[in-house]
Amino acid sequence: MKPSKRLIRAASLCLALALAGCGEPEREAAQPVSRPVKLFTLGETEAARTLRFPGSVSAVKQSDMAFEVSGRIIDIPVTEGQRVEAGTVLARLDPRDYEAERDRARAERNAAQVELKRYEAAFKARAVAAQELDRARRNLAVAEANLRQATKAIEDTVLRAPFVGRVARKLVEDFANVQAKQPVLILQSDDAMEMRVQVPEALWIRSQRVDSAADIEEINSQIRVVLSSLPDQPIAARITAFASMADPVTRTFRVTVGFEPPAGSSVSPGMTGHVAYDLPAGTASAGLHVPVDAVVAAPDNTPFVWLFDAQSSTVKQHPVTLGELSGDSVLVTSGLAVGDRIAVSGVHTLSDGFPVHALED
């Protein structure tokens, strides 16, 4: 009697299990292969990095030029971008109404002078009282004041540059009617520029104390302005003003730095850049700078880096606290120490305990 197909299959399964039991032991789970990564060592020099504070260029002197009186513009002899000397006529109003007012005030002044002379003669002849003479003198004083005011109004119909500068922008059209104090054009100095930056309080509290002019000079020797359009031409700069009270919203301190544009360059207000400040030797910064590429965001958006363990040649997730961003580096205010080594490549493919080794350049 032939065995059934079911019995044949069962026998085959038992044989296979027996052979498997007699074979080689089950291999252990494959271990990840050590991966080459770039490692960044936080050295002693990192504690004295150059701090960078972004900002934009503005003119040291800027004025929204406006007439002191109202009227219709009859001439704007300057153009945008034109450089003007102090006293140059920038715009003129129609002066006819003010000239008429001046002529009226002059006539009243002349009449008051004649009246005063008549009262003085009458007072000498004892024909009028002293009170009448005093009234004539007051009338003359009022008439002279009105004439001065009317004369000044005519002078105010001519708008002149108060300093050497450049016409940055015209704000009204030719022959427009303008009100007193209404800006007509913007005048900016072009021989000196400044940049205003915001210094975080964490860095401000560790900055040099300013107690004298010598302290300012020492700080000035350590700062410079770097324009985005001229990254390879740092410009010597100096602190011209700084706030001693933090902004209540941003908790930063405003610092104004003045500089003179390099010869042959066309530096204009509105250009962007940063102020670089070299911390003095031996001065501890508010933290350590690490490459931006080394920082990763956890699922809850908390920042961390992959800290390298030399003994096990593995990396582990290490939380950090971040400060200001400076170009391609970011300030780490806590979580790392000098001498730590962190991964700066392949950071999005690593995991806790992953074996790595230094990538040779």
Q: What is the pLDDT of residues 120-156, one digit of tens each?
A: 999 999 998 999 999 999 999 999 999 999 999 999 9
Distance CA 183, CA 89 (A): 15
More confident residue, 238 or 286: 238
Domain 35-49+286-358, CATH class in plain words: mainly beta
Q: Residue 91: pLDDT band by 50, 70, 90 thresholds? A: very high
Burial class (CB in 10 A: 0-12, 13-18, 19+), 281: exposed
Kindly report, residue by residue over 32-58, the tens digit of the pLDDT: 788 899 998 886 454 446 778 899 999
Same fold, 35-49+286-358 and 71-91+161-189: no
Kindly report, residue by residue over 275-307, the tens digit of the pLDDT: 988 776 545 455 677 888 899 998 898 999 999
Q: Residue 330: pLDDT band by 50, 70, 90 thresholds? A: confident
pLDDT attached to residue 155 = 96
* Mean pLDDT in residue range 183-204: 87
Distance CA 272, CA 95 (A): 43
More confident residue, 331 or 303: 303
Distance CA 300, CA 305 (A): 14
CATH topology for 51-60+192-278 is Elongation Factor Tu (Ef-tu); domain 3 (2.40.30)
Cβ proximity of 105 and 143 under 8 Å: yes
Least confident of 16-20, 50-54, 158-162: 16-20
Cβ atoms within 10 Å, residue 142: 13
pLDDT attached to residue 258 = 93
* Mean pLDDT in residue range 94-101: 97
Residue spans per domain, the chain: 35-49+286-358, 51-60+192-278, 71-91+161-189, 95-156
CATH topology for 71-91+161-189 is OB fold (Dihydrolipoamide Acetyltransferase, E2P) (2.40.50)
Of the ranges 59-63, 72-76, 244-248, the best mean pLDDT one: 72-76
- When the candidates are 1.10.287.470, 1.20.950.20, 3.80.10.10, 3.40.50.300, the CATH number that belongs to 95-156 is 1.10.287.470
pLDDT attached to residue 331 = 79
With pLDDT > 90 as the criterion, what percentage of the chain qualifies?
Answer: 52
pLDDT attached to residue 178 = 97
Question: Residue 268 carries which side chain, given as an amino acid letter?
Answer: S
HEC string for the chain: CCCCHHHHHHHHHHHHHHHHHHCCCCCCCCCCCCEEECEEECCHHHHHCEEEEEEEEEECCEEEEECCCCEEEEECCCCCCCEECCCCEEEEECCHHHHHHHHHHHHHHHHHHHHHHHHHHHHHCCCCCHHHHHHHHHHHHHHHHHHHHHHHHHHCCEEECCCCEEEEEECCCCCCEECCCCEEEEEECCCCEEEEEEEEHHHHCCCCCCCCHHHHHHHHCCEEEEECCEEEEEEEEEEEEECCCCCCCCCEEEEEEEECCCCCCCCCCCCEEEEEEECCCCCCCCCEEEEHHHCEECCCCCEEEEEEECCCCEEEEEECEEEEEECCEEEEEECCCCCCEEECCCHHHCCCCEEEEECCC
Least confident of 143-157, 173-187, 335-349: 335-349
